[in-house]
Chains A and B, each alone.
Chain A
């Protein structure tokens, strides 16, 4: 038995080695780095240096506020939208389901740069189709990239467009695992379709919804691509800067790895705390 275990570990060794070097070590290392002053050569141990700066840094609080704002608005809206899409996909009335499923899922596989470029074009002040549409229904043009509120909205729209279909497919899979005869029983019980949704589908889907929420929260906490590419590095004037962007700026622009590590650990801790709170709030009561 012991021999067999040893053989198994020998087979696993290459993976474990790479995993340790490229996963475990960076995690530990960045934790240690977060306690070092890294703008001096050589780096020196200074526990309060980065963490002290973090607590008083307006740029950090700006990024934190932006990230949380996006989180609080975008995630619920996206999950609600995904739910509507899933219900639609699950409806026997809908024709060409395969096509819709593909269309909903497609944004996930589109390259980030391509999608960002398209969004920049669509929302451009003078040539964008979005402003043209607004104009055609008598609404004023919006300068999406120069004002903070529209820019934030744009980020949320983009992220939602990209990930709503993905969540819809997960929710759809959950819906399809609810047996049909439960709904038939409810129909015989004179329960309307709408009530069936709220009293049967939603409660039975809760674990799947929680799963989607956790994934989305973690994803949004790390938000980087959209503010980097669409609103040009968190513009206007840091109005859409997220924690992910701050980390990138500190780490790879200013080469301040100590501070970037502290930001990274804050992001991870926040994601964990929010997720735990959420799991606790939606726990099975019994």
Chain B
């Protein structure tokens, strides 16, 4: 078990900087998920921790020991690749034991570790098969098994579930959670799927274009995003963003009026300095924070385009009078029948023009 600490880690490919000074403190036994859109540098960060990619600047420490110049094999990590990277010409058993056999680990110990990994992952019946003859989910298990056999202090996963179908993905997600509890090892997990991040993580690191946007527990990111990007990235369907303007300040805080809708005003208390009257802001409302008319701070009239029924809940795809798209979550029983409907805003977030949260 070990901590992982990144201080001001920078990665450049030639003159092109892709990670701009990352600071992350990962606790012993923690499950941390790096999440962000494609190309934001998640894999690069993970590969630097693994030692597969050189570090252009900053320091990485594992278990308190600086590893910048330590060989990948000596870092006490194991990695599960997106493509599984199984040895195609070896049986499952050989895949699991290969590293140990090559480094002269005592046979009895190798057998014990392989057997244990196979049991944990329930692949004991597949031991003689080649990877080609396994299903995607089984290959994934073998890839994880190969990591377990190394008995690492830190597990690194690079989008391990992205090649699986939706159902299997959910199932493997649960298995990885279980594995984390069982092994108690530190785990770093890369994904671009925010649902995966929300369900697996102790803490989430949200990345964008090589910058860390926010680090926090899943619900903290959800309830208290630092900026527009995190607010939009976490949660499904996304948070709605509505243009607005500050029209004054009163005892309750700052008063905001939605663009083009004089009657829809929101008053929000702000701890920090409030922007001056007239500044443009963005109001963020999660789909589930719309209520029936009169239920919240303020009402808003929208026109419904499409209703998506998912069973228990439904999503209304609607437009404001000002032409902005909003998604509204409703109980299936309460779906309005008229196209025009008044909803209330029960909870909202304020962001300044640069996308930083106002609070």
Q: Are B99 and A181 closer than 8 Å at their CB atoms?
A: no
Chain B contacts with A in 94-108, Cβ cutoff 8 A: 98-99, 102-103
Chain B contacts with A in 136-192, Cβ cutoff 8 A: 146, 150
Task: Verify if B283 is at the interface (C-beta below 8 Å from A).
Answer: no
Over the window 150-186 of chain A, the binary record of Cβ atoms lying under 8 Å from chain B Cβ atoms (1 yes, 0 no) is 0000000000000000000000000000010110111
Give the shortest distance, in Å, between A206 (CB) and chain B (any CB). 8
14 A-B pairs besides A188-B79, A190-B99, A191-B103 with CB distance below 8 A are A181-B83, A181-B85, A185-B85, A185-B86, A186-B98, A187-B52, A188-B77, A188-B150, A189-B73, A189-B146, A190-B102, A191-B99, A199-B98, A204-B89
Give the shortest distance, in Å, between A188 (CB) and chain B (any CB). 5
Task: Verify if A97 is at the interface (C-beta below 8 Å from B).
Answer: no
Point out the residue from B73, B83, B87 that lies within 8 Å of A188, measured CB to CB.
B73
Complex contacts, A203 vs chain B, CB 8 Å? 89
User: How many pairs, one residue from A and one from B, have CB atoms within 8 Å of each other in the complex?
Assistant: 60
Task: Verify if B252 is at the interface (C-beta below 8 Å from A).
Answer: no
Task: Verify if B244 is at the interface (C-beta below 8 Å from A).
Answer: no
Complex contacts, B74 vs chain A, CB 8 Å? 190
Q: Are A179 and B85 closer than 8 Å at their CB atoms?
A: yes
Q: In the complex, A173→B146 CA distance in Å?
A: 28
Q: Are A188 and B50 closer than 8 Å at their CB atoms?
A: yes
A-B pairs, top 5 by smallest CB distance, nearest first, are: A189-B99, A190-B73, A181-B85, A185-B85, A191-B102
Complex contacts, B92 vs chain A, CB 8 Å? none
Complex contacts, B150 vs chain A, CB 8 Å? 188-189
Q: Give me 26 A-to-B residue pairs in the complex whose CB atoms sit less than 8 angstroms apart, sorted by A's number.
A: A179-B83, A179-B85, A182-B85, A182-B87, A182-B88, A184-B52, A184-B85, A185-B79, A186-B87, A187-B52, A187-B72, A188-B72, A188-B77, A188-B78, A189-B73, A189-B150, A190-B73, A190-B74, A191-B98, A191-B99, A199-B102, A200-B87, A200-B89, A204-B88, A204-B89, A286-B130
Q: In the complex, A185→B77 CA distance in Å?
A: 11
Give the shortest distance, in Å, between B93 (CB) and chain A (any CB). 14
Q: Which residue of A lies closest to B94 (CB)?
A: A199
Q: Which residue of A lies closest to B102 (CB)?
A: A191
Total interface residues on B, CB under 8 Å, equals 22
Q: In the complex, A182→B74 CA distance in Å?
A: 18
Knowing A179-B83, A181-B85, say if A189 contacts B52 (CB, 8 Å): no
Complex contacts, B99 vs chain A, CB 8 Å? 186, 188-191
Complex contacts, B89 vs chain A, CB 8 Å? 200, 203-204
Q: In the complex, A243→B273 CA distance in Å?
A: 96
Task: Verify if A39 is at the interface (C-beta below 8 Å from B).
Answer: no
Q: In the complex, A186→B88 CA distance in Å?
A: 13
Q: Which residue of A lies closest to B74 (CB)?
A: A190
Q: Are B85 and A189 closer than 8 Å at their CB atoms?
A: no
Q: In the complex, A200→B99 CA distance in Å?
A: 12
Give the shortest distance, in Å, between A177 (CB) and chain B (any CB). 11
Knowing A189-B73, A189-B150, A203-B89, say if A184 contacts B102 (CB, 8 Å): no
Complex contacts, A184 vs chain B, CB 8 Å? 52, 79, 81, 85
Q: Which residue of B lies closest to A180 (CB)?
A: B85
Q: In the complex, A118→B150 CA distance in Å?
A: 57
Over the window 243-286 of chain A, the binary record of Cβ atoms lying under 8 Å from chain B Cβ atoms (1 yes, 0 no) is 00000000000000000000000000000000000000000001
Q: Which residue of B lies closest to A181 (CB)?
A: B85
Which residue among B72, B74, B77, B89 has the maximum number of chain A CB atoms within 10 Å of its CB? B89
Complex contacts, B130 vs chain A, CB 8 Å? 286
Complex contacts, A44 vs chain B, CB 8 Å? none
Q: In the complex, A187→B79 CA distance in Å?
A: 11
Task: Verify if A10 is at the interface (C-beta below 8 Å from B).
Answer: no
Q: Are A189 and B81 closer than 8 Å at their CB atoms?
A: no
Q: In the complex, A200→B90 CA distance in Å?
A: 9
Chain B contacts with A in 13-70, Cβ cutoff 8 A: 50, 52
Task: Verify if A195 is at the interface (C-beta below 8 Å from B).
Answer: yes
Q: Are B102 and A189 closer than 8 Å at their CB atoms?
A: yes
Give the shortest distance, in Å, between B289 (CB) and chain A (any CB). 43
Give the shortest distance, in Å, between A71 (CB) and chain B (any CB). 28
Give the shortest distance, in Å, between B48 (CB) and chain A (any CB). 13
Q: Which residue of A lies closest to B98 (CB)?
A: A189
Give the shortest distance, in Å, between B280 (CB) and chain A (any CB). 47
Q: Which residue of A lies closest to B81 (CB)?
A: A181
Complex contacts, B52 vs chain A, CB 8 Å? 184, 187-188
Q: In the complex, A195→B73 CA distance in Å?
A: 15
Q: In the complex, A181→B80 CA distance in Å?
A: 10
Q: In the complex, A192→B103 CA distance in Å?
A: 9
Q: Which residue of A lies closest to B83 (CB)?
A: A181
Q: In the complex, A204→B132 CA distance in Å?
A: 13
Q: In the complex, A183→B98 CA distance in Å?
A: 12
Point out the residue from B79, B87, B102 that lies within 8 Å of A195, measured CB to CB.
B102
Q: In the complex, A188→B89 CA distance in Å?
A: 18
Q: In the complex, A182→B88 CA distance in Å?
A: 9
Complex contacts, A181 vs chain B, CB 8 Å? 81, 83, 85
Which residue among B78, B99, B146 has the maximum number of chain A CB atoms within 10 Å of its CB? B99
Complex contacts, B85 vs chain A, CB 8 Å? 179, 181-182, 184-185
Q: In the complex, A186→B98 CA distance in Å?
A: 8
Q: Which residue of A lies closest to B75 (CB)?
A: A188
Chain B contacts with A in 283-341, Cβ cutoff 8 A: none
